[in-house]
Amino acid sequence: MFRMSQPLPRLRMNLDFMPSPVEDRPGLLIRDSFQYSDATLIIPPVLVQCLQCFDGKQTALDLREMLVRITGELDVGKVAQHLAATLSGAGFLEDESFERMKSERQRAFAESPVREPSHAGAAYPDNREELQRTLAEYMTGGPPEATDGLVAIAAPHVSPFGGWETYRAAYSALGPQHKDRTFIILGTSHYGEPDHFGLTRKRFVTPFGEAVTDMDLLEQLATEPAAIMEDYCHSVEHSIEFQVLFLQHIYGPEVRILPILCGSYANSIYLGGAPESNDGVKSFLGRLGEIAAKESERLLWVLGIDMAHMGQRYGDEIHAYANRAEMLEVAERDRGRIDRVNAGDASGFWEMVQENRDDLKWCGSSPLYTFLKANPGVRGTTRGYQQWNIDEGSVVSFAALSFTGR
């Protein structure tokens, strides 16, 4: 399949890598976060080291030499071929097989008139009646509705079954008077380009039905240099999908939305300076601020954000446990950042994010900063804070916030 003297294709670095959760199949689990491929592989422990040979530089001969060293066997040709063929067939290598899968998925999304639900049947029920019952249970007994002058809420984007109490705390802030608003949903773009904003004209579909996209507002943003129209990331991203679910549960399927995926401000975090030091970001934030000021009476903002990501799953040496040991310090640091957000202090919040190059690995800092810059003068209230063990050694934190005033 691969010539002995030619470099092996690179292993894609935008895949999900995690320890195998299958007890009788240890190793490294690999899956495609972009969903170009539906495959999930578990690489046995003895072969995990061999993945470093797929760096675009080493050859099939290098792979065989490594296998000989690891196994102590000389006849490793079939094992090497099988490993390379399996990775390629799964679409996990930067080769023709992957390019074909990528092209087909992107074309399918571009041609579809709607944005189909990506996480139905996994993160939440795909049956409408069951979903209605589930969300009704999640929302029962929430805190009182927010006071008049509500501008925005921030809710988690973790799977609803893991963060339902915090979702409830956030969405309980909404009242009947907000039903006819356009909900500008700022979601974290886990897979998008830094310093860019993903837009789509497609209607979001869930088991409840189709949400309505506010095309007038969308077109005002579509020409911005930092905007990516019909961003494929929308097809696989959950940070907006989960917010649409709760909005539809409260107000009905045809809730009006403006979905915006906020790419990371990684250049600012790692190189310094404010995010708007990038001219494209500055222009987009300015246009969004103009919309916020002009259309404030008919808008309500929804931020789909998680916060700290700590533990083995996220590259830390520690085994993280919610509300214990190191996570108590994380909670304090989270609350320090939340205090700056609630004060409407965008620059103070961002300085805290930049400390230690965001070693808390907040997954929501870009939507928060974007919102604060577009809505100067807002003030926030914390309605809930939670830490959740996403697996035995890793924790995600998130909060419910509400914002009032301009």
- Where are the domains positioned within the chain? 16-107, 118-404
List the pLDDT tens digit at each of the 406 positions of the chain.
556 668 999 999 989 898 888 888 999 999 998 999 999 999 999 999 999 999 999 999 999 999 999 888 888 889 999 999 999 999 999 999 999 999 999 999 999 999 999 999 999 999 999 999 999 999 998 888 876 799 999 999 999 999 999 999 999 999 999 999 999 999 999 999 999 999 999 999 999 999 999 999 999 999 999 999 999 999 999 999 999 999 999 999 999 999 999 999 999 999 999 999 999 999 999 999 999 999 999 999 999 999 999 998 888 989 999 999 999 999 999 999 999 999 999 999 999 999 999 999 999 999 999 999 999 999 999 999 999 999 889 999 999 999 998 5
> Phi-psi bin for 304: left (phi > 0), alpha (psi -120 to 50), beta?
beta
Amino acid 57: pLDDT: 94
Amino acid 131: pLDDT: 97
Amino acid 4: pLDDT: 60
- Are residues 98 and 39 in contact, defined by beta-carbon separation less than 8 angstroms? no
Amino acid 263: pLDDT: 97
Confidence (pTM): 0.90
The backbone torsions φ and ψ at residue 196, rounded to the nearest 5 degrees and listed phi first, read: -135, 165
- Are residues 9 and 20 in contact, defined by beta-carbon separation less than 8 angstroms? no
Residue 154 and residue 186: Cα distance in Å, rounded?
9
| Topology adopted by domain 118-404 | Protocatechuate 4,5-dioxygenase; Chain B (3.40.830)
Burial of 180 (0-12, 13-18, 19+ CB in 10 A): exposed
Amino acid 1: pLDDT: 54
